[in-house]
Amino acid sequence: MELQKIKQRFGIIGNSEGLNRAIDTAVQVAPTDLSVLITGESGVGKEVFPKIIHQNSIRKHESYIAVNCGAIPEGTIDSELFGHEKGSFTGATESRKGYFEVADKGTIFLDEVGELPLATQVRLLRVLETGEFIRVGSSKVQKTDVRVVAATNVQLTDAIRKGKFREDLFYRLNTVPISIPPLRERQADIHLLFRKFAYDFAEKYRMPSIKLDDSAVNLLNAYKWPGNIRQLKNITEQISIIEEKRLISADKLRSYLPTTAHNDLPALYKPIDEKTFSSEREILYQILFDMKRDMNDLKKLVNELMESSGRTDLAFQEEKTRVIQDFRDNSLLVPAKRTERENVDYEPELNIDQDIQEAEAEEVRDEILSMADMEIELIKKALEKHQGKRKLAAQELGISERTLYRKIKDYDLNL
């Protein structure tokens, strides 16, 4: 009976086990001064629970202040929470009390506490441990008696591992944890919430309330609701205003449900059998060998253009060698068979003439060697022409002097 009164007083709709447990925990912890950390996804209604705690505590006749930590700029968050003295920074034309000073004897709700800067976290930890704080620009220690309730939609344990949230502050805030379940885990409550929102908007806009047929109800319950209650409320309002017909079908409702990167609606799963996998693998191999053939055609075309233009400079040869080498390194010639250590139960069977593969691979290797010989010959001629002056030889070859030194060392040229 007490639970139903709390729900009616604070406008909570639903009877799921997770929701009831969260409300019961809030009521039980309210008479104490323990810090509470409320966790849950964005849009689940976390902002209601600090009010339940405050209104059922001995502080209910004192101030209640809700602060969205993520909405306050980092440069002013300390001033907002702890106050500042006149002239402490540009624009501080007078002294100002912070939220912790104003909420003395009452309750302060820190929403999105995971967004607090590390320096502010240190100040907050001191308030929680000793009740002391210092205004910005002051050296005077002040005391406050405030009940702190915090909330976040991020995993603070992950933030701790990344160094974005203090571990000691987490344990101080998390004295009593309250977890609010997402809407997708409250399937029996989804239609109840929709009907409540539809009735409220009908009253607000003075129009008949919208209703869902059976197929639309099934779709409503099957949807994952990534935006939770807030998203459900917004969509209910859109439909109430836009649709002329008051009975909504599944097709009409689907047009209001946003598509996301993942599929939020039930879908049929078609398993991939071994035959399909084998067929796709053969297609992949065929594509790879088609790419090899295209590369060989391109290589022949480049040779023909080079011979017809008389271009044999080293830079051109270097580029050609690099392309062929990359082609070879990326294993586009022949996919390597897996070894026994890879624990693969099969080896792909390729319908390709092995002799042709080996002959073509040997042809590429021979061509790479012939181009290396050509490069050595060009280096020797350039050095002879400039009487061993490597700087001039490098300019002649169109490469840097450093590259020339490296090639002389790689080819072990005794010049």
Residue-wise pLDDT for 67-77, tens only, equals 999 999 988 99
Of 37, 56, 70, 71, nearest in space to 180 by CA: 37
**Would you state the structure tokens that stand for residue 115, as one six-digit string?**
């967004």
Helix (H) or strand (E) holding 288: helix 274-309
21 and 119 in one domain?
A: yes
pLDDT at 237 over 50: yes
pLDDT tier for residue 398 given thresholds of 50, 70 and 90: confident
22 and 171 in one domain?
A: yes
Domain count of the fold of the chain: 3
- Which of residues 141, 161, 181 is at a domain's end? 181
Give the residue, 124 or 342, on which the prediction is more confident.
124
pTM of the model: 0.62
Specify which of 141-145, 319-323, 405-409 reaches the highest per-range mean pLDDT: 141-145
Q: Which domain holds residue 250?
A: 184-254
Backbone angles phi, psi at 22, to 5 degrees: -65, -45
Q: Average pLDDT of 359-368?
A: 52
147 and 249 in one domain?
A: no
3-state SS class at 190 = helix
Q: What pLDDT score does 336 carry? A: 43
Backbone angles phi, psi at 5, to 5 degrees: -65, -40
Crossing angle of helices 354-385 and 401-410, in 10° steps, is: 120
pLDDT digits (tens, 9 = 90+) for 76-130: 999 999 999 999 888 889 999 999 999 999 999 999 999 999 999 999 999 999 9
190 and 168 in one domain?
A: no
297 and 362 in one domain?
A: yes
